[in-house]
Homo-oligomer: A and B are copies of this chain.
Amino acid sequence: MSVSASSSSPSPVPVLSEKQVDNLLAAKEDEHGGVIVEMSTTQPPMDPIVFTSLLKASILHWKQQGKRGVWIKLPIELVNLIEPVVKEGFYYHHAEPKHLMLVHWIPETTNTLPANASHRVGIGAFVMNENGEVLVVQEKSGKFQGTGIWKFPTGVVDEGEDICSAAVREVKEETGIDTKFVEILAFRQSHKSFFDKSDLFFMCMLQPLSFNIQMQEREIEAAQWMSFEEYASQEFVQKHDLLRYIAKLCIAKRDGKYSGFSPVPTITSFSNKPSNLYFNTKDFDFNSS
C-alpha cells in the first residue's frame, strides 16, 4: 500500500485484500461501546491517502464489531489528516490549542455522545482581615486597565481544578496572600461570554492566613488592604446592581447573617472519583439519619 506522498490527485480507494484488512488504526475501547484513536506525532509521518485507506478499513471493522462512537484525536502537527477524517463522515467534537478531537457515530440510532463543554468557570475572592479591610487589586490589562478601579481578585478556574482551590491559588498569585477557603457566597451565570460560550462566576469568601502583600507584577498594577466601606462606595460598585448585591452579601457574611455553600468531599457515585458537593452546611444536619 505504498502511495507517493507528493501525489494529490484524487485516486480511487483501493479495495483492501484480506491481509490488508488486518492493517487497522490502533484504537482503545472506551466505556460506552466506542473506540478512541489517538494519533501520535512520534509515529513516522503518514500520507493522507494511506491514512484514508486505513481509516476506511478500520471503520468497516468497528462497524462489524458493533462499535458506536469512534473518536479520533489529532495533534496539531497532523493537521493534514483532518480533511481525510472529515471526508469519512466525522465531525468536530472539541479542540484544545494543540489538538482536535473528531467523532463519528456509527449506529442508525440517535447518538448519545457527550455534549461539548459549554461554560468557562471563573472565581472572585472576598478576603477580609481582622480590621475589616478587604483585599483589592488594580489590573494591568483588560477593561479595567487604567481606570483606577479597585476590585476583588478574580481569575479563571484551570482545567481539572476545584473551584475552591482556584480561589486560593488566584489570591496567592495576584497578591502573595495565603488563604483558607470558607464558602461560596453566590454565583452568576451569563451567556455569550466569548462567542457562544457561557460563563459561571463563583464569588468566594476566603479567610486570610498571611497579611503582607507581594504583588504579581505581570497582571497586577496595585494591590492593597482597603476599608470595606471605601471599596463599596466606589461609583463602579454602586452603579452595577450585580456588584451591589455581592457587596451586601459580603457584609451580611461578615456580620454572621449569611450562609453560602461549602464544599464537602464525596466519592462521585458510579465512577468512584472524588468530587466536591457544595451546599449550605450550616442548615444541614450531618448526623440525621
| Interface size classification for chain A | 35 or more
Taking CB atoms and an 8 Å cut-off, the chain A residues in 94-135 that contact chain B are 94-101, 110, 112, 114-121
| Contact status B96-A242, CB under 8 Å | no
Contact of A242 among B76, B196, B268, B288 (CB under 8 A): B268
Which segment, of A51-59, A170-178, A207-215, A275-283, faces chain B? A275-283
Which segment, of A12-20, A39-47, A156-164, A220-228, faces chain B? A156-164
Closest 7 CB pairs of A and B: A240-B269, A186-B279, A190-B275, A92-B95, A95-B95, A117-B117, A8-B8
Tell me whether A92 and B82 are in contact in the complex, defined as CB-CB below 8 angstroms, given that A117-B197, A279-B260, A280-B258 are known contacts. Answer: no
| Contact status A277-B195, CB under 8 Å | no
Confirm or deny: A91 has a beta carbon within 8 angstroms of a beta carbon on chain B. Answer: yes
Contact of A268 among B162, B190, B269, B283 (CB under 8 A): B190
In the complex, A103→B201 CA distance in Å? Answer: 24
In the complex, A91→B95 CA distance in Å? Answer: 10
Taking CB atoms and an 8 Å cut-off, the chain A residues in 134-164 that contact chain B are 141-143, 156-160, 162-163
| Contact status B100-A95, CB under 8 Å | yes
| Contact status B188-A268, CB under 8 Å | yes
Taking CB atoms and an 8 Å cut-off, the chain A residues in 1-38 that contact chain B are 6, 8-9
Confirm or deny: A198 has a beta carbon within 8 angstroms of a beta carbon on chain B. Answer: yes
Contacts of A115 in B (CB 8 A): 120, 156
Tell me whether A275 and B196 are in contact in the complex, defined as CB-CB below 8 angstroms, given that A118-B159, A245-B264, A270-B143 are known contacts. Answer: no
